[in-house]
């Protein structure tokens, strides 16, 4: 489409792009926030949802105003309010953020930082202490604890000292969760971007934060990379004009996590160019950067220097399992099989190519320092999304605030420069081809024929057999792990000795404990073989599992464990389905009681927000009509008297026909009440005592059948379920 020549038409298009469309996008985002808040109960989410919708209508009306104030100030301010409400809505509706009654972190990096802050307040050195207790201290779910290729888990403080020192004041002040600190950094970064962005473009910078889900989820879901974001925003804004402040901010960013380290070689080249290629001038800024980095780290560097160095270098030396959404995803999907050293070679080569290109064309590639870390880490064996997602913000700030960069972006690359650039790209592509060819000729381990068997008690997979081929000229000591469809990984035991050279073997894998069994709800899994000394990580293609309901009741004896594959850091009965929030806030818990020495306790809710009854359930194909189950209703709390209520067990068939058995402490005899498609049986029960019931279901129930146990209405009393068995 040709650009309009009529000034009025150009003005209308400018208004459409600068005010109307951003305002409409902002209104749509606010309506989404209102809808998100409506999924939670209580006064706070209701108020939040109504405010979000009200602001959405204000944004729509404001988008139609022609005054520049709307696009430069009011709409960006509403955008900031929308972002804050988005974070609050996530807090109120998501189980992966702060829970008022159950502190929970969804990343080991935040758990390590919070635990390290606690150690600092206790006068201990986090770099000499094990981080393993952090998982229990902050109830971290097993899937987010980073495994290593030798079967262990990361258990050292892996980041520079400022990564945990920022949390020390808040830990001292007894802030409930350090997630609130991360949310504060995210809001601070948003404000900083709005201040630094050109006034006419502020709304677009605000929408960048608001429309990308990771900018909310990583802050509200225990991500820690947001802590260095304000510092790197400052680096981008001062890169061309205030080198002393830029060097200071870069040093502080590097003192938080390792991602900003990749900007350092570009900064050294930039300062060298700024000082007319004077090494002395560049060294002056480098010294400022090092001083800013050393300031928070110096106590630990002097206290235990070897431990500090081991910690901050551990992301590169600890042999964490390969994972991520970069090039390594081809390998973890089972599509290719490269030695892990190949990825190290590739990311190092990518870094060298970027630095060399920046040295050759510092003005034309002035933007490169602020996206190179993402590009380099794309080739790393660990390339998680949080390594990438914040760099576009940093680059946007640089593009919007650096006058020199705006001039360079407007220039056209000459043909000679284009040939040189293509030569650099071709050289890197040749390197990738060489790595691929060498890997293809290197003959990697192959895993085929994965077959699974299930535990008859729980319905979980507890045995996997695979065929393994070792084409190498030496034996391999392999460690095997099983990953589910969500990439949660658990190391399993194998019955095989070191695999001889040029040999094939049939290997049987079993979980290390009940908690390591693969859940019956898993629809796919992968088997992974690691040989850390040889840099081997071989993934099978995804193996699909049958999703049909189990034949026969599963785990009626309530075998319980902390499931290593699920985001639930407390013991729960395996094979039963329940809302994890009920376990997190204390609504459900496993206790030592009942006929099997374990029972599931339903804790009555005493607060007004409890509007739904607690249940656990499972779906299965019955192999009998007769069952025995145990219930202990109306367990009083202290001197509080329990009122009779409805606690029991319910069976529903494929057509929705229901049979419910209610333990009734007020009943003197069995009472049956029938209605269309339903049978309710009230059975006599003794309060606070175990009651055994033997039942026979109707013959005409159509499988599969769903059995649900729990409260049939909210209550303030506790009740116990002792198990159910087939007869």
- Which stretch of 27-41, 191-205, 292-306 has the lowest confidence by average pLDDT? 27-41
Q: Is the pLDDT of residue 725 over 90?
A: yes
Q: What is the DSSP track for 88-121?
A: HHHHHH-TTS--TTS---S-HHHHHHHHHHHHHH
Share of the chain above pLDDT 70, in %: 87
Q: Which of 312, 311, 318, 319 is nearest to 258 (CA)?
A: 312
pLDDT 10s digits, 162-192:
999 999 999 999 988 898 899 999 999 999 9
- Which stretch of 129-143, 321-335, 390-404, 630-644 has the lowest confidence by average pLDDT? 630-644
- What's the pTM value of the predicted model, to 2 decimals? 0.86
Distance CA 193, CA 206 (A): 8
Specify the DSSP class assigned to residue 703: S
Q: What's the mean pLDDT in 691-711?
A: 90
Q: Is the pLDDT of residue 2 over 60?
A: no
pLDDT 10s digits, 314-365:
988 878 999 999 999 999 998 888 888 889 889 998 999 999 999 988 888 9
Give the architecture-level CATH label for domain 446-547. Answer: Sandwich (2.60)
Q: What's the mean pLDDT in 452-480?
A: 91
Residue spans of the domains in the chain: they are 11-93+179-227, 446-547, 560-726
pLDDT 10s digits, 645-657:
678 999 999 998 9
Q: What's the mean pLDDT in 102-116?
A: 86
Q: What is the DSSP track for 244-307?
A: HHHHHHHHHHHTT-SGGGGGHHHHHHHHHHHTTS-HHHHHHHHHHHHHHHHHHHHHHHHHSHHH
Q: What's the mean pLDDT in 618-632?
A: 93
Q: Which of 524, 513, 542, 512 is nearest to 447 (CA)?
A: 542
Distance CA 649, CA 682 (A): 11
Q: What's the mean pLDDT in 516-522?
A: 88
pLDDT 10s digits, 441-453:
455 788 988 889 9
All residues at 6 or more sequence positions from 492 whose CB lies less than 8 Å from its CB, including other chains: 464, 480, 481, 482, 509, 510, 511, 512, 516
Higher pLDDT, 67 or 187: 187
| Per-residue pLDDT band at 19 (split at 50, 70, 90) | confident
Same fold, 446-547 and 560-726: no
Q: Is the pLDDT of residue 472 over 60?
A: yes
Share of the chain above pLDDT 90, in %: 48
| Per-residue pLDDT band at 288 (split at 50, 70, 90) | very high
Secondary element (H or E) of residue 424:
helix 415-440
Higher pLDDT, 109 or 443: 109
Q: What's the mean pLDDT in 524-531?
A: 92
- What is the pLDDT at residue 109? 93
Higher pLDDT, 701 or 297: 297
- Which stretch of 14-18, 285-289, 593-597 has the lowest confidence by average pLDDT? 14-18
Average pLDDT along the chain: 85
Q: Are 59 and 23 in contact (CB under 8 A)?
A: yes
Distance CA 317, CA 313 (A): 6
- What is the pLDDT at residue 631? 95
Report the side by side order of strands in the sheet with 647-652. 550-551, 615-621, 705-711, 647-652, 658-664, 678-684, 671-675
- Fold entry, domain 560-726: Jelly Rolls (2.60.120)
- What is the pLDDT at residue 406? 47
Q: What's the mean pLDDT in 256-282?
A: 91
Q: Is the pLDDT of residue 198 over 90?
A: no
pLDDT 10s digits, 212-263:
888 888 888 888 999 999 999 999 999 988 999 999 999 999 999 999 999 9
Q: Is the pLDDT of residue 103 over 60?
A: no
pLDDT 10s digits, 354-412:
999 999 888 889 999 999 999 999 999 999 999 999 999 999 999 888 654 444 444 43
- What is the pLDDT at residue 26? 87
């Amino acid at each position: 489409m040709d650009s309009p020549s009529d000034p009025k038409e150009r003005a209308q298009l400018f208004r459409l792009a600068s005010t109307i469309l951003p305002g409409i996008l902002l209104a749509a985002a606010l309506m989404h926030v209102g809808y998100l808040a409506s999924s939670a109960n209580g006064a706070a989410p209701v108020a939040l949802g109504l405010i979000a919708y009200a602001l959405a209508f204000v944004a729509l009306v404001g988008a139609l105003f022609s005054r520049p104030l709307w696009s430069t100030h009011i709409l960006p301010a509403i955008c900031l309010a929308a972002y804050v409400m988005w974070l609050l809505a996530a807090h109120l509706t998501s189980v992966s953020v702060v829970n008022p009654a159950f502190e929970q972190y969804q990343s080991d990096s935040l758990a390590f930082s919070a635990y390290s802050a606690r150690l600092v307040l206790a006068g201990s050195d986090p770099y000499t202490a094990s981080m393993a207790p952090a998982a229990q201290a902050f109830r971290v779910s097993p899937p987010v604890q980073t495994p290593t290729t030798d079967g262990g888990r990361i258990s050292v403080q892996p980041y520079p000292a400022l990564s945990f020192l920022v949390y020390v004041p808040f830990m001292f002040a007894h802030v409930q969760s350090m997630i609130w600190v991360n949310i504060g950094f995210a809001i601070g970064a948003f404000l900083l971007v709005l201040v630094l962005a050109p006034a006419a473009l502020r709304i677009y910078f605000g929408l960048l934060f608001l429309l990308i889900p990771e900018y909310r989820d990583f802050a509200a879901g225990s991500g820690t990379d947001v802590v260095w974001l304000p510092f790197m925003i400052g680096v981008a804004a001062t890169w061309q004009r205030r080198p002393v402040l830029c060097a200071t901010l870069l040093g502080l960013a590097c003192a938080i996590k390792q991602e900003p380290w990749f900007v350092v070689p570009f900064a050294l080249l930039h300062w060298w160019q700024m000082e007319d290629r004077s090494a002395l001038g560049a060294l002056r800024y480098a010294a400022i950067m090092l001083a800013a980095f050393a300031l928070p780290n110096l106590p630990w560097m002097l206290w235990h220097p070897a431990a500090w160095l081991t910690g901050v270098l551990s992301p590169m030396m600890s042999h964490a399992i390969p994972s991520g959404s970069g090039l390594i995803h081809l390998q973890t999907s089972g599509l290719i099989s490269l030695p892990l050293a190949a990825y190290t070679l590739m990311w190092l080569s990518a870094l060298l190519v970027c630095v060399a290109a920046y040295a050759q064309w510092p003005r034309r590639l002035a933007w490169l320092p602020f996206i190179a870390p993402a590009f380099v880490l794309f080739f790393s064996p660990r390339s998680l999304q949080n390594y990438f997602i914040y760099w576009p913000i940093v680059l946007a700030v640089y593009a919007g605030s650096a006058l020199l960069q705006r001039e360079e972006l407007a220039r056209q690359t000459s043909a000679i420069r284009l040939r040189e650039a293509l030569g650099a790209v071709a050289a890197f592509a040749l390197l990738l081809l060489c790595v691929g060819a060498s890997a293809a000729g290197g003959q990697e381990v192959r895993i085929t024929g994965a077959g699974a068997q299930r535990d008859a008690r729980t319905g979980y997979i507890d045995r996997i057999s695979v065929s393994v081929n070792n084409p190498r000229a030496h034996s391999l000591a392999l460690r095997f792990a099983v990953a589910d469809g969500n990439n949660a990984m658990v190391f399993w035991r194998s019955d095989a000795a070191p695999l001889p050279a040029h040999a094939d073997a049939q290997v049987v894998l079993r979980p290390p404990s009940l908690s390591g069994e693969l859940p019956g709800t898993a629809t796919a899994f992968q088997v992974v073989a690691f040989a850390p000394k040889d840099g081997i990580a071989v993934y099978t293609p995804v193996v699909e599992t049958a999703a049909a309901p189990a034949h026969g009741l599963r785990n009626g004896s309530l075998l319980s464990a902390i499931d290593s594959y699920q985001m639930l850091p407390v013991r729960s009965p395996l094979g039963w389905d329940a809302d994890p929030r009920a376990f997190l806030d204390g609504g459900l818990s496993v206790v030592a009681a009942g006929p099997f020495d374990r029972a599931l306790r339903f804790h009555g809710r005493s607060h007004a927000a409890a509007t739904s009854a607690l249940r656990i359930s499972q779906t299965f194909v019955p192999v009998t009509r007769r069952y025995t189950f145990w219930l202990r209703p109306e367990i009083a709390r202290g001197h509080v008297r329990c009122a009779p209520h409805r606690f029991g067990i319910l069976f529903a068939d494929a057509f929705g026909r229901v049979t419910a058995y209610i333990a009734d402490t007020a009943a003197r005899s069995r009472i049956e009440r029938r209605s269309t498609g339903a049978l309710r049986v009230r059975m006599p029960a003794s309060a606070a005592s175990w009651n055994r019931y033997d039942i026979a279901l109707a013959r005409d129930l159509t499988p599969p059948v769903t059995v649900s146990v729990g409260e049939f209405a909210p209550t303030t009393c506790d009740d116990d379920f002792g198990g159910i068995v087939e007869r």
